[in-house]
Structure 1
Amino acid sequence: MVTLQLRQLVVYPGQRIQLQEVKWDEFEAILDELGNKRACRVAYSDGILEIRMPSPKHEKAKVLIGDMVKILLEELNVDNECFGSSTFKRQDMAKGVEPDDCFYIENFAQMIGKDRIDLSIDPPPDLAIEVDVTSKTELDAYQSLGVLELWRFEDGQLRISLLQNGQYQDANFSPHFPNFPIIDGISLFLTRSQTEGRSQTLKAFRQWVREFTQGR
């Protein structure tokens, strides 16, 4: 049997590798070896481990979407805790995932001051965000861990999925922002950012949120 070390693996931006028959203790060891200060993201489900390296395009989109969610929460005066790309895992479920961004909204108070997450005690995020195609490994992990709302930005379009009876179902609105046309709004402003840049886009998005709120 040939044994390789992680430093021998090269994952280029925008690509991912999949390792099969990975035991839980091996998954934990890989997380330790990768460390916290890294660009790659991992997902683990039933012995399958995926390591993906985001591209600059991916990173720009995920930061913008996360910033827009923060603006929505600020303008609506909704308390929250943002946990970014933290690792969420449960050994008893053999699942683990690292979202592009995530938020505790209903459960924000329980997570204040926490710097470690134990999903046997702590709740999963109330809202998670993924940019680019989400693999079956990632979806299985999100579903099993019980993340109730998942946003996926793919091919220039936002897709909202809600967990119902253990499976994700597509929805036309976000339960966290039910009065906003989130799908069209997020997609529109991400497109605008390609020509207007980040700062102007976020200013315009905040104004859009305020006008939409005042108009209701």
Structure 2
Amino acid sequence: MQLELNQLSVPPGQRVLLKNVSWQMFESILDELGEGRAARISYSQGTLEIMTPLPEHENDKVIIGDFVKAILEELDIEFVSLGSTTFKNKVMVQSVEPDDCFYIKNEAAIRGKKRIDLTIDPPPDLAIEIDLTYRTQFNNYEFLKVPELWRYNGQRLQINILHNGKYVESQNSHIFSEIPLKETIPQYVEQSKIIGRNATMKAFRTWVKEQLNR
């Protein structure tokens, strides 16, 4: 008896792990699930993970992504935000779908591209994972050489910098080295749940301008 993907039901906040999945099987599964799916996919060395995010997961993802865009706009830095794009590298047998990601230093290298091929294109400069269930595995991002990975667990922002192929937790972002984001972003995320998104974004932009003018 063979299990069909449409028989799987993954409740929000839960995940399913499938072992011994070949790269060919993985790509077939991606095609079958399609791009409009709610589930998130991660693949590493034959292990496939399927996860369905919680509603609060999506809220945190959007507001933190908006914070990053606001900083980049205030700095007048060109960027590309690719959201939960599927990043694959067949040679490394790795694939991951971040909650959000940004090309910043490497923005010009992928500008205008409809498809990203990590065998020839650079990885995103920054990836963001909303990790309310402590599911994020570093392996995929380390193999794909994403320079900076943020992980937010609903209360704390963890900033991880790639150093000699492994992530090291840092007090500061290397991309935004002059702005103290580790403690401030969680505060503004919580503020958005009290006073609303627009009021929070205005307050956050004001704070960013103050930091840049120091």
Which range, TM-score by smaller chain?
A: over 0.9
Is 2:57–2:130's contact at 8 Å kept on the other side of the alignment?
yes
Displacement of 1:134 after TM fit? Answer: 5.1
Partner of 2:105: 106
| C-alpha distance in 1 between matches for 2:192 and 2:13 | 20
Partner of 1:140: 139
Q: Secondary structure at the match of 1:102?
A: strand
Q: Secondary structure at the match of 1:160?
A: strand
Task: Show the 5 A alignment for 1:48-197.
Answer: 48-132=47-131, 133=133, 135=135, 138-197=137-196
Superimposed CA distance per residue, residues 46-68 of structure 1 (whole angstroms, 9 cap, x where no aligned partner): 11100110111000000000000
Is 1:44–1:97's contact at 8 Å kept on the other side of the alignment?
yes
| C-alpha distance in 2 between matches for 1:16 and 1:144 | 22
| C-alpha distance in 1 between matches for 2:195 and 2:18 | 40
Q: Secondary structure at the match of 2:48?
A: strand
Is 1:97–1:142's contact at 8 Å kept on the other side of the alignment?
yes
Point out where structure 2 has 5 or more consecutive residues left out of the alignment. Answer: none
Is 1:89–1:96's contact at 8 Å kept on the other side of the alignment?
yes
- How many percent identity over aligned positions? 50
For 1:127, the aligned partner's letter is L
Point out where structure 1 has 5 or more consecutive residues left out of the alignment. Answer: none
Superimposed CA distance per residue, residues 68-115 of structure 1 (whole angstroms, 9 cap, x where no aligned partner): 000000001111111111011111111100000000011000111111
Q: Secondary structure at the match of 1:93?
A: coil
| C-alpha distance in 2 between matches for 1:81 and 1:203 | 22
| C-alpha distance in 1 between matches for 2:64 and 2:17 | 27
| C-alpha distance in 1 between matches for 2:161 and 2:196 | 31
| C-alpha distance in 1 between matches for 2:117 and 2:129 | 21
Deviates more, 1:71-80 or 1:198-207: 198-207
| C-alpha distance in 2 between matches for 1:157 and 1:191 | 11
Displacement of 1:196 after TM fit? Answer: 1.1
- The reply on whether 1:17 has 2:16 as its aligned counterpart is yes
Structure 2 length-normalised TM = 0.97
| C-alpha distance in 1 between matches for 2:135 and 2:27 | 21
Aligned length: 213
| C-alpha distance in 2 between matches for 1:25 and 1:6 | 15
Displacement of 1:39 after TM fit? Answer: 1.5
For 1:135, the aligned partner's letter is R
For 2:38, the aligned partner's letter is A
Is 1:44–1:50's contact at 8 Å kept on the other side of the alignment?
yes
Displacement of 1:144 after TM fit? Answer: 0.2
Is 1:103–1:127's contact at 8 Å kept on the other side of the alignment?
yes
CA RMSD across the alignment:
1.1
Task: Show the 5 A alignment for 1:36-55.
Answer: 36-55=35-54
Partner of 1:203: 202
Moved over 3 A (4+): 133-136
